[in-house]
Amino acid sequence: MRVRALMLGAVLLSLLSVVLGRAAKVQLFDRSRLARLQRDQTRRELEWAPRRGLILDRLGAPLAVTRDVDSIFVDPSAFESPRARDRAADLLAPALKMERRKVLEKLAQPEKKFVWLKRKIDEAAAARVRLLALDGVELVKEPKRFYPQRELAGHVLGFVGEEAGQEGLERELEPLLKGKSVQVQATRDARGNMVLEHGVPDPADLTGATVTLTLDSAIQLATERELGKAVKSAGAVSGWAIVLDVNSGAVLALAGSPAFDANKPGRDPNLWRDRAVQDQLEPGSTIKSFVVARAIEEGVLRADELLFCEHGLWAHAGRKIHDTHPVDWATPATVLRESSNICAAKIGERLGKEKMIEGLRAFGFGEKTGVGLPGEARGALGDPRRMAQIALDTTAFGQGMSATGLQETVAMAAIANGGLLLRPYLIEKVVAPDGTVLQSRGRAEVRRAISVSTSRTLTAMLEEVVSKGTGTRAALTEYRAAGKTGTAQKVDPIRGGYSEKRLASFLGFVPAEAPRVAILVVIDEPRGAGADVTGGMVAAPAWGAIARESLRQLGVMPEQSRENIMVSSIGLSSPAPEAAAPEEQDASASAANEVQQLQARSPKPEARSVPPGRTVVPDLAGLGARTALSRLAARSLDAELRGSGRAVAQSPRAGAIVKRGARVKVTLAPPG
């Protein structure tokens, strides 16, 4: 018994020694290795994806938002055996609608602990994966970009790929919109669920800046709708349109057709192309407006001058220049109204190469506008030192040069606003999550292109284009419009020279008497022949519809309503005094008394409506010459001034209803 007891004790002591030795090895020698294995099995370091900032229109309507969706990742070390990987691939491939081969490739990486299987999946796919309940397969929420208004402004916004913005503003503003990723620690609990050790990160640490655009969703929608109708009815390949605030340079709408849904952008880069900004093409006859404006500005052309347009055919500089229809003698207004290439070329020759190219550059042609969109083209103008004579002539009617649609619209806005070239802008402000304003833009003057008087002269000429020229289909019953048609031949890129394909456009502004918006509509390659493919036929009607809706959305009252209100107010209350020019502010009290006596003797007209094509003569008593001219021009009236000082008499009298363009004689006298 003693021996047995000793043997049993020895065995027990040996076993205890083995246990103690093993415990010592685990606690002392294998501690770090085992702790690392434990961390690898239960802990994960996850990258919390950043949230892209919002993109809003000018009134705060969301154009691009970010929402949380499910993404799937796997721990390949959980599938050590080929059998386990095959079984998991058989289940995951159909659930995620992936190729089985690709699933196996992701699982067969045992050295890795984290591999994305599929990111940003829909709810149905996420539900199928949850039902599988596979160890080593996890779902995590990730932000995904959505465009709630679908196709609206798709060419402007662009879209986001797997990691970053791919086109449009999403690409251009990537550093501001993308936000910052955050590393977070997660632990697997007893049931296998992942638990964040320090909770969800603060959204302010993840979210990018909020971008507010100048786009107006309602105007953008109307522009896209009317442009799409015009492209479809003309059988054209594409088209683009722009609506620009002439007084600030803010882009209110920028549309392209065919449109695309940024939620499902497809794979065709031509569909994503913002052609109004990126394409540089020959503008055609719309350029005549700026050539005439520069010629008047330089004093080489008078507004009432007669030019001989050669009855439709001019053999000059070894070439023949044609008009679409015969024109004989024409004033500059008639040249624009009838769109005479021949007389436009003659006006260009009066300017000369240097002054004409300089004049077009003053309107912004040949340089980027700086609107803030990727891929903006510069356009091209000839070098006056190397231009042939015929190149001078063709440039004057829009051939042999190139421009973008945005350049044309900005140039027309300069005519509309009194001669100032403004820098167009699309991004109104960028605000960080903490409220810090990172960027802010507004009206920015580039240069003066023409004088105020030249601007008014051109406005009257462009009104004739709409009222009785090539642009009558753009006319509005509620507003006076001014604009110019354009029909350019497209260059054949293969054979060279001009093809039968056309680029039809209408460019103008409205209301003519107090401009608010400049609009361009371009229809690319309309089907048909002759007059059926001109800008006046295919682009002008869409222009009119866009103009009408734009003014309605901006709250611009129709002309008839404004005049009725103005006439009704005469005799009921005195108009607010108009600020006098600096040189007029030293008028003496005696002059003021004389004005009051004249006003007291003036009969008060009764309230009545104003027929179309007519206007009301304003009360000019007491006004200086400059202010009187401005007030008459606002009513489309000509002025004949006599004397100097302040207005003491006028004919017709204040309140009289006369035809637009009528002459008002104003007698001025010095104070005292």
- Please give the structure tokens belonging to residue 109: 């990486």
Please identify which residue in the block is written with the tokens 């609990």.
189
pLDDT of 552 > 50? The answer is yes
Contacts for 296 with CB less than 8 Å, ≥ 6 apart: 302, 303, 332, 450, 454, 457, 458
pLDDT tier, 558 (very low <50, low <70, confident <90, very high otherwise): confident
At residue 454, what is the residue type?
T
Q: Does the annotation count 467 as an active-site position?
A: no
| Across 339-356, average pLDDT | 95
pLDDT of residue 164: 82
User: Which tens digits make up the pLDDT trace of 72-110?
Assistant: 888 887 787 888 888 888 888 888 888 888 888 888 877
DSSP symbols for 414-451: HHHTTSEEE--BSEEEEE-TTS-EEEE----EEEE-S-
pLDDT of residue 382: 92
pLDDT of residue 321: 92
Whether the Cβ atoms of residue 518 and residue 462 lie closer than 8 Å to each other: no
**Would you give the DSSP letter of residue 253?**
E
* Catalytic pick among 71, 248, 285, 289: 285
- Mean pLDDT for all residues in the chain: 84
pLDDT of 539 > 70? The answer is yes
What pTM, to 2 d.p., does this model score?
A: 0.73
pLDDT of residue 384: 93
Whether the Cβ atoms of residue 243 and residue 156 lie closer than 8 Å to each other: no
- How far is residue 358's CA from residue 352's CA, in Å, rounded to a whole number? 10
pLDDT of 334 > 70? The answer is yes
| Across 136-165, average pLDDT | 87
User: Which tens digits make up the pLDDT trace of 289-313?
Assistant: 999 999 999 999 999 999 999 999 9
pLDDT of 409 > 60? The answer is yes
Domains of the chain: 45-212 (3.90.1310.10), 217-264+272-554 (3.40.710.10), 573-669 (3.30.10.20)
pLDDT of 344 > 80? The answer is yes
- How far is residue 201's CA from residue 181's CA, in Å, rounded to a whole number? 10
| Across 528-548, average pLDDT | 90
Most confidently modeled of 63-72, 132-141, 432-441, 449-458?
A: 449-458
**Alpha helical stretches, state H, 148-280:** 154-157, 168-172, 174-177, 203-206, 217-234, 269-272, 275-278
In this prediction, what percent of the chain has a pLDDT beyond 70? 85
User: Which tens digits make up the pLDDT trace of 23-76?
Assistant: 777 676 666 776 666 665 556 666 666 788 999 999 999 999 988 888 888 888
Compute how many other C-beta atoms are within 10 angstroms of the C-beta atom of residue 567: 18
pLDDT of residue 516: 97
| Across 129-158, average pLDDT | 88
3-class SS string, 23-70: HHHHHHHCHHHHHHHHHHHHEEEEEECCECCCEECCCCCEEEEEEEEE
pLDDT tier, 570 (very low <50, low <70, confident <90, very high otherwise): very low
* Beta strand 55-56 pairing with 210-213: parallel
pLDDT of 610 > 90? The answer is no
| Across 602-621, average pLDDT | 64
| Across 159-165, average pLDDT | 82
DSSP symbols for 308-328: E-GGGEEEETTEEEE-SS---
Whether the Cβ atoms of residue 303 and residue 512 lie closer than 8 Å to each other: no
